[in-house]
Amino acid sequence: MLVCRYADGGRRGYGRVDHDHVVPVEYDPGAGRWVPRPGPARPLGEVRVLAPAEPTKIVCVALNYRAEGAAGAGRPADSASMAVVLKPPSSLVGPWAPVSHPGRSWVLKHEAELAVVIGTRCKRVSPGRAEAVVAGFTCANDITAYARDGAGPGGHPVWAKHFDGCTPLGPWLATDLDAADAEITCRVDGELRQRGSTRDLLTPVHDVVALVSEHMTLLPGDVILTGTPGGSGPLPVGGRVEVAIGGVGTLCNTIGEPSGAAGETGAAGSEREGRSTP
């Protein structure tokens, strides 16, 4: 089943994607599944599709893919040996929406990833139970800002992944995805930049959920980005970036013009989201 988060007039909620319609649903944490909720089905083309999560935190796992042709050894043994970065909810942006460029001092790079969205509050969940706390899986682009002078990511790791709109997510959740065998690609203006599979993860998806929950309580809506395959590269201003995962769909965004005006105001990243079609 595919589930989107959408806005219909002044109302927001989740809906099952049924061909060209959205049928209202909600997640039942006790049952661990999506259930019907009151409301009419709506044409998909008449609603605004939003990022399919409302997280309190976004957890990013780094360096979690084997290099091409490498042996399958080296899997982190525990949470202390797994590299993790936190991103704020304000970095979230939905499908078909522009990505805010933080300024001409930075070069943006794409990182296509499988994202896990938590459905049930959990702490110290075992890998065997991890599937029961997951509401669904979706596409993510963990965009990173690198200092143009070559000083490294954003000049400081905090800024590299924390600007508004640097976490495109969507277009919807897949509830029945085989997360151990999902193909991931990234294209920029039609050019294939990344191709990989979750088969090559050093720490498998459900193990990632378990390891993260060792350190922090995971709340409904929280997002875990499970790592990116090789091939991350620069994103041109005005470029169209597409992250596709088999069984989920394609997340499309464009890169906006660099900002830099002092005192800029505007919507938070999660509010800049697109329509249901490109």
For residue 259, the model assigns a pLDDT of: 77
Summarize pLDDT for 47-76 with one digit per residue, the tens: 999 999 999 999 999 989 987 544 444 455
Does the structure show a pLDDT above 70 at 165? Answer: yes
* 267 domain-assigned: yes
**Rounded distance, CA 275 to CA 273, Å?**
7
Summarize pLDDT for 84-104 with one digit per residue, the tens: 999 999 999 999 999 999 988
Specify whether the CB–CB gap between 168 and 99 falls below 8 A: yes
Instruction: State the DSSP code for 122.
Output: B
Place 78 in a pLDDT band, splitting at 50, 70 and 90: low
Residues 6+ apart with CB under 8 A from 272: 93, 94, 97, 98, 100, 165, 266
* 18 domain-assigned: no
Residues 6+ apart with CB under 8 A from 144: 108, 109, 111, 153, 154, 160, 161, 166, 232
What integer is the mean pLDDT of 143-169?
78
Task: Report the 10 Å Cβ neighbour count for 95.
Answer: 28
Does the structure show a pLDDT above 80 at 193? Answer: yes
For residue 12, the model assigns a pLDDT of: 97
In the sheet that holds 191-197, the strands lie side by side as 98-101, 249-258, 240-245, 183-188, 191-197
Name the least confident of 61-70, 170-179, 223-232.
Answer: 61-70
- CATH code of 224's domain: 3.90.850.10
* 47 domain-assigned: no
What integer is the mean pLDDT of 121-138?
97
Does the structure show a pLDDT above 70 at 21? Answer: yes
* 6 domain-assigned: no
- Show the domain range for 174: 54-271
Place 159 in a pLDDT band, splitting at 50, 70 and 90: confident
Place 260 in a pLDDT band, splitting at 50, 70 and 90: low
Could you tell me which of 142, 145, 164 has the C-alpha nearest to residue 105? Answer: 145
**Rounded distance, CA 263 to CA 252, Å?**
29
pTM metric for this prediction: 0.90
Does the structure show a pLDDT above 80 at 229? Answer: yes
Burial of 276: CB neighbours in 10 Å, binned 0-12, 13-18, 19+ = buried
Could you tell me which of 119, 109, 133 has the C-alpha nearest to residue 228? Answer: 109
Percent with pLDDT over 70 in the chain: 84
**Rounded distance, CA 262 to CA 139, Å?**
33
Percent with pLDDT over 90 in the chain: 76
**How many domains is the chain built from?**
1
Could you tell me which of 143, 141, 144 has the C-alpha nearest to residue 157? Answer: 144
* 59 domain-assigned: yes
Mean pLDDT of the chain: 88
Place 79 in a pLDDT band, splitting at 50, 70 and 90: low
* Residue of higher predicted confidence among 196 and 63: 196
* 102 domain-assigned: yes
* 24 domain-assigned: no
Does the structure show a pLDDT above 80 at 157? Answer: no
For residue 70, the model assigns a pLDDT of: 47
What integer is the mean pLDDT of 10-16?
96
